[in-house]
Chain A
Amino acid sequence: MSSNRELAMSSYVGIGIGLMVIVGIEVILTYQHLPTRTLLFSLLCLGGLEAFVAIMYLMQVKYEKPILFWTVFPATLFVFVFLCYLWPDAFRMFNMRLMQ
């Protein structure tokens, strides 16, 4: 149920430019030779920020009833957090490699 509160097309163009600026920051960070974990964390944070802006404005969740947001996103994030059960085993292999 999109409402008349939606932004003008020029505002959406501004959002698109803003998203491209974030991509530019990601590329600049890539060539700063940061430690892998720092780079990964930074890229994921920036990617998450981009996704949030795109979901709220391009997919127009901001203009839907709040129940859509509260039904969809916490549950999906919960699934993503649960997928983290993989990491201990990945780090186990990483540490085994260091010991060899």
Chain B
Amino acid sequence: MAAVTQPEVLMEPSPYAMDKKKLGMWVFIISDACTFAAFLFAYGYMRVGAPVWGTPFGVSSIVNGMVMTAVLLSSSLTMLAAVRAAQNGTKASTNKWLGITMLLGAIFAALHLREWFKLIGEGWRLFYNPTGGAAQFGACFFSVTGLHMTHVVTGVIALAFVARGFNQGRYDDSHVETAGLYWHFVDIVWMFVFPLMYLMNAH
């Protein structure tokens, strides 16, 4: 009867030897990485093919981008601290680190929105280049960074749900660890978005 109530005893263990949530997150991350790669390759294609490309980023925008990078990297470290705290079973510490991670994520999104509004104020639109060059810059920049910002905001919301569930005892440390994988992935994507979208378009 034990085999009926515990079907996993009949099954071969996973060769990955990891929680199924975590494995599912890895599959999602791979597919999402391919999505971002497709966006960035399309950007590269348009940039090479366009006769004149916009380079709207001055020193202030690059400094802003560096601050955003520092904020996102710091949030990865606080996420690691949250996972450690969850594995140690300390709810207060887990909540504290998850809260700081969410706050850093929100700061990142705010800094990014500031950059967006600055560009929009200068006349850049999805399909319009105020300097008279290729119009695709706006489409590329707002699409890629918008997709990334959506991931950051979604991550902040997901972390809030995980923190609440962990606090109530519905979720365990594996949930925090799985959410952490997603958060680190968002950080890794930024490591390509910042040089390709900002640094390659600095004047």
Which A residues form the contact surface with B (CB < 8 A)?
1-2, 9, 12-13, 16, 19-20, 23-24, 26-27, 30-31, 36, 39-40, 43-44, 46-47, 50-51, 54-55, 58-59, 64-65, 67-68, 71-72, 75-76, 79-80, 83-84, 86-87, 89-91, 93-94, 97
Contacts and interface: CB of A to CB of B under 8 A. Distances in A.
B30 A76 contact: yes
16 contacts: A9-B77, A9-B80, A27-B199, A30-B62, A30-B199, A36-B200, A44-B196, A54-B187, A54-B188, A58-B76, A59-B188, A67-B16, A79-B34, A86-B41, A86-B42, A93-B49
A99 B114 CA distance: 41
Interface residues on B, range: 35 or more
Contacts of B196: 43-44, 47
A59 B184 contact: yes
Given A23-B66, A30-B62, A51-B188, A89 B45 contact: yes
Interface string B105-137: 000000000000000000000000000000000
Interface string B160-203: 00000000000000000100010011011001101110011010
A39 B177 CA distance: 36
B35 to A, nearest CB: 11
A16 B73 CA distance: 6
Contacts of A1: 17-18
Contacts of A80: 37
B51 interface: yes
Which of A24, A36, A44, A59 has most B Cβ within 10 Å?
Answer: A59
Interface of B: 15-18, 26, 30, 33-34, 37-38, 41-42, 44-46, 48-49, 51, 62, 66, 69-70, 73-74, 76-77, 80-81, 84, 87, 177, 181, 184-185, 187-188, 191-192, 194-196, 199-200, 202
